[in-house]
Amino acid sequence: MNFIDEVIITVASGDGGSGCVSFRRERALPRGGPDGGDGGKGGDIVFRSTPRKRTLQQFQFQKHLKAENGKAGLGKKKTGRSGENRVIDIPPGTVISDAETGRLLHDFSQSDQSVTIVEGGRGGQGNSRFRSSTRQAPRFAQPGEPGRVCQIKLELKSIADIGIIGLPNAGKSTLVSALSSARPKIGGYPFTTLQPHLGVVQTGYGEPFVIADIPGLIPGAHRGAGLGIRFLRHIERTRILIHLVDASEIDSEDPLRAYNAINKELALYSAELAAKPQLPVLNKLDLPQARANVDLFLSAIDCDTVRLISAQSGDGLTSLLSKMVQMLNAP
């Protein structure tokens, strides 16, 4: 399954219903006058960001979306029913723009935003609206206003559902390749990764989710050190952080040195970023020295949930994947 992060679709709001031409006819009121009601408004095209959606996969084969037309007006000045809005769920981080002009329509940077992108046509007025002192029996009504048809571009700019952070050489790219079909360049030296690598993780049920290794976080990153601020900005749009620690490099005198260094950078850059849900993960448990350091880390950290893995051998990845899905599905 391909990761769909950009698509152009055609949307059409509903047409407004026609106004009604009607005259009141009752035994006691043989000349009751016009009583045609207005037509109903056409349905809007509404986009709604929800964490239940993680990709733009749904639009791969669904390129044309239309809202319901409004109903025509009725006698006795009854307004026709308005057309149902077409509500389209998209993942948070989706940017919607006009496909022809490039004009930004809305940036859904957060969950649970609901925005009308294309309004439905106005309903036509019934003949009762046109009665006057000089025109007692109008025999016409307005047609409904047609809906708008336009092409819009959807771009998923949230870099991932889950961002993997940690010092260079913690094994972030190896973890991405182990959990997904992504094959980033991996080397045994700092800053192997010079740009984020995205991987699509298939869980076997529900929608896939996207993970990314976030490169270049070192002390001073919030001031631009290393690969700096540009990647801290990427993390802002992830929902969950996997904090990867190289267990073979844990300092016996200060077991949380690497872990705290990264969290300090997050806090210095943004309090909101520092408050994101975070899962500590000790990596490289296939190395003998890493096993010896696990207890040091666990006794020092104030966290009940720490995952132990070897991204290289695959040990612990099933448990980690289960926890990731659980965190993504949490309200």
Q: In what order do the strands lie in the sheet with 45-49?
A: 86-90, 45-49, 114-118
Same-domain check for residues 168 and 139? no
pLDDT score, position 27: 72
Is 53 in contact with 94 (CB distance < 8 Å)?
no
Q: Which residue has the higher pLDDT, 234 or 251?
A: 251
Same-domain check for residues 136 and 188? no
**CA-to-CA dists, residue 16 to 33, 56, 68, 86, 140, angstroms:** 25, 30, 9, 15, 17
Tens digit of each residue's pLDDT (9 = 90 or more) over 181-202 = 655 554 444 444 445 677 888 8
Same-domain check for residues 63 and 131? yes
pLDDT over threshold 70, residue 253 = yes
pTM of the model: 0.61
pLDDT score, position 228: 43
Is 18 in contact with 124 (CB distance < 8 Å)?
yes
Crossing angle, helix 172-179 and helix 317-329, to 10 degrees?
80
Last residue of a domain, one of 143, 158, 173: 158
The SS3 assignment for 178 reads helix
* Residue 120 confidence class, pLDDT cut points 50, 70, 90: very high
pLDDT over threshold 70, residue 3 = no
Same-domain check for residues 116 and 187? no
Cα(263)–Cα(69) distance, rounded to whole angstroms? 53
pLDDT score, position 173: 83
Tell me which amino acid residue 30 is. Answer: P
- Count: domains in the chain: 2
Mean pLDDT of 233-238: 71
**CA-to-CA dists, residue 127 to 22, 35, 131, angstroms:** 7, 7, 7
What is the CATH classification number for the domain harbouring 7? Answer: 2.70.210.12
Is 279 in contact with 324 (CB distance < 8 Å)?
yes
Same-domain check for residues 292 and 152? no
Same-domain check for residues 135 and 174? no
Average pLDDT value for the chain = 85
Same-domain check for residues 112 and 224? no
Tens digit of each residue's pLDDT (9 = 90 or more) over 60-100 = 889 999 999 999 999 999 999 999 999 999 988 899 999 99
Q: Which residue has the higher pLDDT, 319 or 109?
A: 319
Enter the DSSP assignment of 79: P
pLDDT score, position 295: 93
Mean pLDDT of 134-147: 94
Same-domain check for residues 290 and 189? yes
Closest of 153, 276, 287, 145 to residue 214, by C-alpha: 276
Cα(245)–Cα(290) distance, rounded to whole angstroms? 10
Q: 83 is in which domain, residue-wise?
A: 1-158
Residue where the block lists tokens 């889950």: 162
pLDDT score, position 131: 92
Is 73 in contact with 18 (CB distance < 8 Å)?
yes
pLDDT over threshold 70, residue 243 = yes
Residue where the block lists tokens 């349905």: 43
Tens digit of each residue's pLDDT (9 = 90 or more) over 143-183 = 999 999 999 999 887 667 898 988 888 888 889 889 886 55
pLDDT over threshold 70, residue 227 = no
Q: Where are the alpha helices (DSSP H) in the chain?
A: 172-179, 229-235, 257-269, 271-274, 288-300, 317-329
Which two three-digit tokens encode residue 15?
């047409």
What is the CATH classification number for the domain harbouring 219? Answer: 3.40.50.300
Pairing between β-strand 209-213 and β-strand 162-165 as defined by DSSP bridges:
parallel
Tens digit of each residue's pLDDT (9 = 90 or more) over 15-57 = 999 999 999 887 766 667 899 999 999 999 999 999 888 788 8
Q: How many residues does the chain have?
A: 331
Cα(31)–Cα(98) distance, rounded to whole angstroms? 52
pLDDT score, position 304: 85
Last residue of a domain, one of 158, 189, 210: 158
Same-domain check for residues 203 and 311? yes
Closest of 26, 24, 19 to residue 35, by C-alpha: 24
Is 180 in contact with 197 (CB distance < 8 Å)?
no
